[in-house]
């Protein structure tokens, strides 16, 4: 009989369950969930969230005052400070509980090291619905960098598809000013995705914001700028003002414009490549975009 031992299974294929230890079992499990004074807790060092919306906190505080905290806060004992705990997941609930004037909160206490605490905190927050796209992208990047997970394993850990994880991470390649627009809610994640492959995303973002374009219109504008007209040499004698006007209108609409003078009148021709561009143009002209 062969005594060759099989190699241990790859941790990557198991997602984050390989990085976060299982909670205690048996009698220890009943003591893991505790009720602790709010002052014994403090934010942990692995919080991926940025500024918390005050209106959202007030709304959550009102719900907590009415219904209590339905999901315990996840925390670990603070090293070298008995009786103190670092929040791993649930800082928003902890802050809202204080606004609701609660003196104690339910806490699930876990003995986690720094790497495990970071993984647990990131996953807990990434499963929330109110993270902005940049916070989400930064959380994914930290998990990939720190733990060497595949995008597929990471998607399974946070309940997202691999393509969603990949497309979200790509937003980190946008210029800083564009990332700030997404982080502050000025641009949506859908808008931001149209900018990733744009030749000048900052300039395009400014146009989208100034014109209040929806995502479909932003996609049409990005496509027009990514494939500019291969212009023919300008005919001699063309009015420079008309040429300049064509360029200005083309840049403004993101579609190729031709102005043809005919005596005292003339015509303006708007070129579109597909039905999406036509739909965006119609919405813009009708003021329904």
**Please, what sign has the CA dihedral across residues 167, 137, 130, 149?**
positive
Task: Tell me the catalytic residues.
Answer: 91
What string of H, E and C letters represents the secondary structure of 63-112? HHHHHCCCCCEEEEECCCCCCCEEEEECHHHHHHHHHCCCCEEEEEECCC
Quote the CA–CA distance of 252 and 273 in Å, as a whole number.
Answer: 17
| Residue 260 exposed, middle or buried by CB count within 10 Å (0-12, 13-18, 19+) | exposed
Calpha distance 127→130 (Å, rounded): 9
Task: Enumerate the β-bridge partners of residue 75.
Answer: 87, 109
* Alpha helices per DSSP H over 150-254: 151-158, 162-170, 176-183, 189-195, 201-211, 215-226, 240-253
Dist. CA 166–CA 150, nearest whole Å: 10
C-alpha distances out from residue 17 to 14, 211, 229, Å? 6, 46, 52
Give me the half-sphere count of Cα atoms (radius 13 Å) on the Cβ side of residue 236.
0
* Residue-wise burial string across 9-46, b where 16 or more C-beta atoms lie within 10 A, e elsewhere: eeeeeebbebbbeeeeeeeeeeeeeeebebebbeebeb
Region for residue 185 given its phi and psi (left: phi exceeds 0; alpha: psi -120 to 50; beta: otherwise): left
């Amino acid at each position: 009989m062969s005594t060759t031992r099989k190699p241990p299974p790859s941790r990557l294929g198991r997602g984050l369950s390989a990085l976060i230890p299982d909670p205690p079992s048996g009698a220890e499990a009943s003591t893991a969930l505790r009720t602790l004074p709010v002052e014994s807790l403090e934010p942990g060092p692995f919080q991926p969230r940025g500024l918390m919306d005050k209106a959202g906190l007030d709304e959550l505080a009102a719900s907590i005052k009415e219904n209590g905290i339905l999901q315990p806060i996840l925390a670990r004992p603070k090293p070298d400070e008995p009786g103190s705990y670092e929040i791993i997941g649930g800082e928003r609930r902890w802050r809202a509980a204080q606004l609701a004037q609660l003196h104690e909160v339910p806490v699930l206490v876990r003995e986690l090291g720094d790497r495990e605490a970071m993984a647990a905190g990131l996953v807990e927050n990434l499963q929330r619905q109110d993270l902005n796209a940049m916070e989400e992208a930064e959380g994914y990047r930290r998990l990939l960098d720190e733990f060497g997970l595949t995008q597929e394993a990471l998607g399974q850990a946070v309940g997202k598809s691999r393509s969603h994880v990949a497309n979200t991470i790509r937003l980190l390649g946008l210029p800083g000013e564009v990332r700030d627009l997404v982080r502050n809610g000025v641009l949506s994640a859908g808008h931001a995705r149209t900018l990733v492959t744009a030749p000048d995303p900052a300039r395009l973002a400014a146009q989208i914001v100034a014109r209040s374009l929806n995502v479909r219109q932003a996609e049409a504008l990005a496509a027009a700028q990514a494939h500019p007209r291969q212009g023919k040499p300008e005919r001699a004698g063309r009015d420079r003002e008309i040429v300049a006007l064509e360029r200005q209108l083309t840049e403004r609409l993101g579609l190729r414009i031709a102005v043809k003078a005919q005596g005292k009148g003339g015509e303006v021709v708007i070129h579109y490549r597909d039905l999406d561009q036509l739909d965006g143009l119609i919405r813009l002209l009708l003021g329904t975009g």
